[in-house]
Amino acid sequence: MIPLYRAGTSPLHRLSAGTKLAGLAVLALVASLFPHTVWTAAGAFAITFVLFLLGGLGGATWARQLWAAKWIIAFLLVTQVIFLDAETAVIGTVRVVSVVLLAAVVTMTTPTGEMIDVLQRLLEPLRRVGVDPWRVAFTLSLTIAVIPVIASLAARIREAQRARGVRLGPRAIVTLLVLSLRHADDMGDALTARGLA
């Protein structure tokens, strides 16, 4: 699995994992459920840039994360334009991308172990109904962490096609899907080998 955490001493690094996960949940809900206009969606997008700066990650890292997700953005935009008007499609896409970037900030400034510990404590009451808090916390942390991994796979596809002189097209989305499924299989095998699945 691609290492996501980047050590640092920024204000975001110093925040507790619980605070960052709560902030991610609140901001994701606001970005997803709040009725947005083009301007409010753009504001949410701008906040992600500010958070990358606060996390000591820099604007270049923000731009790389955004560029790496361009095929995901294209897929979202095209599929929404089919059923919605252009403005609504753009707003919806910007909202999803903002949540993706927020998740990237959390994973880059928070060790995975700390995230698992916090989630496990929050889910402890569910043990009474037969839920294993550690397994659920681990699954949720993997879900958060896999978003930048998918973006990285998209970047690899772009670089490979550019090296062969092949023009990027819809076929790249199929390749991304295949690589994502293969990555999921590899992760599943690794977890099974360690007795975690």
| Residue-by-residue DSSP string for 142-166 | HHHHHHHHHHHHHHHHHHHHHHTTP
What's the pLDDT at 197? Answer: 56
Number of independent structural domains in the chain:
1
The tokens for 121 are 């404590």
Half-sphere exposure of 166 (CA within 13 A, CB side): 11
Which pLDDT tens digit goes with each residue over 101-136? Answer: 888 888 888 887 787 788 778 778 878 888 777 777
Share of the chain above pLDDT 70, in %: 85
Mean pLDDT value of segment 74-93? 81
What's the pLDDT at 170? Answer: 63
Residue pair 108/4 in contact by the 8 Å Cβ criterion? yes
pTM: 0.65
Which of the four pLDDT bands, split at 50, 70 and 90, describes residue 2? very low
Is 4 inside any structural domain? Answer: no
Start-to-end CA distance of the chain, whole Å, equals 16
Range of the domain at 51: 11-193
Is 5 inside any structural domain? Answer: no
